[in-house]
Structure 1
Amino acid sequence: MSTPIVLSIDLDGTLLIEEREIHPEDALALRRPLPVTLVFATGRSLESARRVLERAGLYRDEPLPFPLVLQNGAAIYRAGEILEAYFPIPLEAEARLHALVPQFPDAAFLWQGLDGAYLEEITPFGLQAAERFGFLPRPLSEAPSGQGFGKLMCLSDHPEVLQAFAQATQNLPVEGSFSLDVIYEVTRQGVNKGFGLRALLQRLGLPHARIVAVGDGDNDVPMFACADLAIAPSNASPRARAHAHHIIDRQPHGILTPIFELLDAKRWLDT
């Protein structure tokens, strides 16, 4: 029996160019049957992932047809947008994060729940960034009580502010990482893309699949750690590049074609 292959791929900076465009060859490949089990692994919520893929002309009138690792592993879904498990930030840690927010007036804080996103401490840059990444945020005061939040995004165009917030969370029971140079993300302690991917594959009956992980940000490194093959695009962060087995230039043919060529050269697609 052949060993199944799971291709877990990040969206922003990897599959998506400028947060809303997909290389034409990648778009074509996504409309065809694939020789692997494809998983989208992203820091986005379901709402945001759907919106940005619709902007790129994909899946406008159907649920996303692939399994999903969303909110950096806090929410995992089967194909068809069927929620499999949710790992929100514990209420005690959430309260301590809320207490930190007033210390950072130059940042906006976007809380992601299953039903949408909510802004705390709104800034012009925060609103712009939320729209850029496909969110339609509401004020935090409108969040349903008790729903829990899978991820908190600290948004600022001041790097020193993000560094200070990251430092301030070091002693909290949370996990943090930079996804872009304007975003620092926080999830439940131990919850990251690697955790979410392993949890999803266990539930899908694929615990022994070969994993190909593809991403460009620091938040993709935990996914690389559980992969048999880790791939970063040439635009990836220094940390992601350092942990990748291969670097791919996505400009000529997108990201999927060179990945499949690499897998074919390794004879993984023949086993």
Structure 2
Amino acid sequence: MSYKILALDMDGTTFKELDDIVIENMEPINKAIKKGIKVVFVTGRPVHTKLNKLDLFDFSNVGAIFAAFNGALIYDLKNKQVVDANPIDKESVLKAFELLKKSEEFKEIELWAYTVDDKLSYINMPIKESKILKNETYFFDYKPVVFSSNMPILDCHKILVMNASTKFVNELRNLGLEVSWTEGSMQGEVTKKGINKKYALEFLSKKFSVERTEILAMGDGANDLPMFEYAGLSIAPVNAHQEIKSKATIVSEYTNLEGAVAKAINKYILGE
């Protein structure tokens, strides 16, 4: 099968978890780009963060796309412009933060909301009082703002939920929001209803006139499940969550750190 779109998750797949790229993956990715394959990072990450290391790849061609926030923001890397955006409306953002007051059980939950302003994020408590929020600060040079219902509120591309629980996730879903979360996971990702990595692949499929059977996707986490449902070939590294391995067409024998992405590109894209 000839694949025309290569959709790659970042953390835990192409990259180390919340860290730099797995070096072995760089050359195969650039070879695939040079071959004319549309290589697209479909990720929960934002576009504008130094940790993405996008300068390592030859994304100078027309049609170089980055699908951020699980598909909520689709960005043209060559022309440096948004081509599609589906943020959570500010009223729903307010309701999500207000949920924290609903139960004593939610007092340990931490929220980080990425607004439509690249330099503004909301958090529900000061970083110094949090247990997990500080990990997200490594992506940025700016300080997030502690959320208040009295401040002017912006739409948000995505809300990260840390120390998540089934009850809180269900409350978010009752608000009509999309929640990517696996039972027992400490972190979930919240987007506008219907906006997920499957949406991103559908968008790319239409934009480039590519059949879904011509899409190869790789990922390791709960937010990759919708993408795996759509792609013609889905590959999970062996370090992936068990649920996503059960949905993958192929489970690699290699972890992300062992270059599972590089090895899959060499075999299925480059034919090496």
Identify the TM-score tier after normalising by the shorter chain. 0.7 to 0.9
Which of 123, 130, 149 lines up with 1:124 in the alignment?
130
In structure 1, distance between residues paired with 2:244 and 2:175: 25
1:88-129, Cα deviation, whole Å (9 max, x unpaired): 113442232122023422122111123142212334223322
**8 A contact 2:114–2:122 mirrored in 1:** yes
Deviation at residue 17 of structure 1 after TM alignment? 1.3
Letter in 2 for 1:257: A
Change (3 A) 1:8 1:61: closer
Q: Percent identity?
A: 24
Deviation at residue 134 of structure 1 after TM alignment? 5.2
Letter in 2 for 1:176: V
In structure 1, distance between residues paired with 2:256 and 2:8: 17
Which of 233, 238, 246 lines up with 2:237 in the alignment?
233
Deviation at residue 15 of structure 1 after TM alignment? 0.7
Change (3 A) 1:139 1:60: farther
Change (3 A) 1:23 1:10: same
Q: TM-score by structure 1 length?
A: 0.81
Letter in 1 for 2:156: F
Moved more, 127-136 or 69-78: 127-136
Q: What residue in structure 2 maps to residue 258 of structure 1?
A: 263
Q: Within the alignment, does 1:163 sit opposite 2:166 as a pair?
A: yes
RMSD: 3.2
Once the two structures are superposed, the pairs formed by residues 70-219 of structure 1 within 5 Å of their partners are 70-80=68-78, 81-102=80-101, 103=103, 104-114=106-116, 115-116=118-119, 117-122=121-126, 123-132=129-138, 136-141=142-147, 145=152, 147-156=154-163, 161-178=164-181, 181-206=185-210, 210-219=214-223
In structure 1, distance between residues paired with 2:256 and 2:174: 41
Secondary structure class of the residue paired with 2:11: coil
Unaligned runs of 5+ in 2: none
In structure 2, distance between residues paired with 1:240 and 1:73: 18
Query: When the two structures are aligned, how many residues end up with a matched partner?
Result: 257
1:127-154, Cα deviation, whole Å (9 max, x unpaired): 3221355574410459994641111111
Secondary structure class of the residue paired with 1:21: coil
Deviation at residue 205 of structure 1 after TM alignment? 4.2
1:218-264, Cα deviation, whole Å (9 max, x unpaired): 11000011100011010111111111011111368513332124316
Unaligned runs of 5+ in 1: none
Q: What residue in structure 2 maps to residue 68 of structure 1?
A: 66
**8 A contact 1:107–1:121 mirrored in 2:** no
Q: What residue in structure 1 maps to residue 13 of structure 2?
A: 14
